Amino acid sequence: MSSRDQFASKIGFILAAAGSAIGLGAIWKFPYMAGTNGGSVFIFLFILCTVFIGLPILIAEFMIGRRGQLDPINSFKAQAPSKPWYMIGWLGLVACGLILSFYSVVGGWILSYLFRAISMSLTGQGLDFAALFGEIISNPVEVLMAQGAFMLLTLLIVQAGIKGGIEVASKWMMPLLFIFFILLFIRSITLDGAMEGIKFMFVPDWSYLNAKTLLLALGQAFFSLSVGVSAMITYSSYLPRTENIVSSARNVAIMNIAISILAGLVIFPAVFALGYSPEQGPGLVFIMIPAVFEQLPMGGLFLIIFFILLLFATITSSIALLEVVVSIGVGKKTQARKRASWLFATIIFIVGIPSALSYGIMSDFTIMGKNFFDFADYLTNSIMMPIGALLISLFAGFHYSKKISQEEFQSSPFLFKTWLLIVRYIAPIAIIVILVRQAFA
């Protein structure tokens, strides 16, 4: 992305933005969060938070990024000189770095699984997939090597730049992933006892309706839409003015919800049909996916393809995370891009080491009762992202005059009024209430 590169096409931008959004959030995190938080109620709240809070703030990020055409910090500085709004950019930098530090650990798990799939050691009757997952993530040498390899892949793509790397990768991977999920869904839903999983997803158990679930659902909506940490500000800074940001944001949100639900529809019927517990935590997808493929003819082959696709989905998100850090680190000195990418990737790798070891030799090391991995996740998801989203919402709602935001909005007056009401009042109040209630829960 030397100087100010731009996206080559509208579909390219939507796919890249969707690629940044759709990743581990929808496929890995959503199912296990739903699994450990009562299923249906969490899913319902997640959709609500996505549509009424996440989407409007995503539109705000697109607006800010496209107007600024700079990295987040300089963008806020240019649009609000001598005001402290640029701190949002700093928050984004720290949050994206921290997210990537544990995101790359999970990326490493995917590489581990991919290698095992290729060497055929994930197939064969009677494998205990839960035990296998435990073995993989607790092996210190393997997790660190895999995490390093994943960071290296991310780094190489970020260096290739917008058109060459991100856009091309996103273009063919997303549709393929979709088709694969549908195939898996068909297998999963036709297993004996699958209906229990559907009930788990859609028949509400209201006892889970509380502030904690709501904060987790909100955090999940932000995380999986990539909202609140300036990632979408960064991407849309490469966006030409002719694009309609409202429809782009809507498409991203729809695809994201669809993939999340689809991932759930693959996982939960199989969980119940094959006698697993939905409360496996971070291992859920890694345990259930091989278990479902085992039920398919040529499962071993499909499993390889699946992990390749999952790897792509993950990388299109990890490059967004690294891109935020690099674009800020480089600022206007774009010739320093290469060195900066290496430097930041190395720092993030080092920060991620305790997360990588959290399920093995460092499992006794806890902060606030959480291992390092969970702590980094909690800090970013439940604190930094909501605060970032809150500030971005206020910036778009109040710093921009109504005339400016209406011009940028390029959509119907009714939608504009609704959006303005949300970013000015509804989203900020909701985020504050949820944060405060959670703090005193």
- Taking residues 231 to 250 in sequence order and writing x for each that binds ligand PHE by CB under 6 A, - otherwise, the string is x-------------------
Q: Tell me the one-letter amino acid at 242.
A: T
- Taking residues 201 to 230 in sequence order and writing x for each that binds ligand PHE by CB under 6 A, - otherwise, the string is ----------------------xx-x--x-
Beta bridge partners of 370: 367
Least CB distance to ligand PHE at residue 121 (A): 27
Q: Which residue has the tokens 């290698």?
A: 115
Name residues contacting ligand PHE, limited to 166-205 (CB under 6 A). none
Element (H, E) at 66: helix 55-68
CA-CA distance, 3 to 140, in Å (whole number)? 40
Shorter beta-carbon distance to ligand PHE: residue 99 or 423? 99
- Tell the burial category of 297 from Cβ atoms under 10 Å away from its Cβ (0-12, 13-18, 19+): exposed
Please check whether residue 321 is in contact with residue 96, taking contact to mean a CB–CB distance below 8 angstroms: yes
DSSP H helical ranges for 139-194:
140-160, 168-189
DSSP code for 193: T
Which tokens in the block code for residue 403?
């005339």
By the rule CB under 6 A, 320 interacts with ligand PHE: yes
By the rule CB under 6 A, 384 interacts with ligand PHE: no
Nearest to ligand PHE by Cβ — which residue? 25
Shorter beta-carbon distance to ligand PHE: residue 39 or 107? 107
Kindly state the number of chain residues that form the binding site for ligand PHE, as judged by CB under 6 A.
Answer: 16
Region from 20-28, 118-126, 137-145, 300-308 binding ligand PHE, contact rule CB under 6 A: 20-28
By the rule CB under 6 A, 99 interacts with ligand PHE: yes
Q: Which of 291, 288, 283, 296 is nearest to 268 (CA)?
A: 288
Q: Tell me the one-letter amino acid at 173.
A: M
- Tell the burial category of 259 from Cβ atoms under 10 Å away from its Cβ (0-12, 13-18, 19+): buried
Shorter beta-carbon distance to ligand PHE: residue 34 or 194? 34
Shorter beta-carbon distance to ligand PHE: residue 96 or 420? 96
Least CB distance to ligand PHE at residue 380 (A): 8
Q: Integer distance in angstroms from the first to the last C-alpha of the chain?
A: 45
- Taking residues 25 to 64 in sequence order and writing x for each that binds ligand PHE by CB under 6 A, - otherwise, the string is xx--------------------------------------
Which of 12, 14, 15, 23 forms a contact with ligand PHE (CB under 6 A)? 23
For binding to ligand PHE (CB under 6 A), which residues are involved?
Answer: 20-21, 23-26, 96, 99, 223-224, 226, 229, 231, 317, 320-321
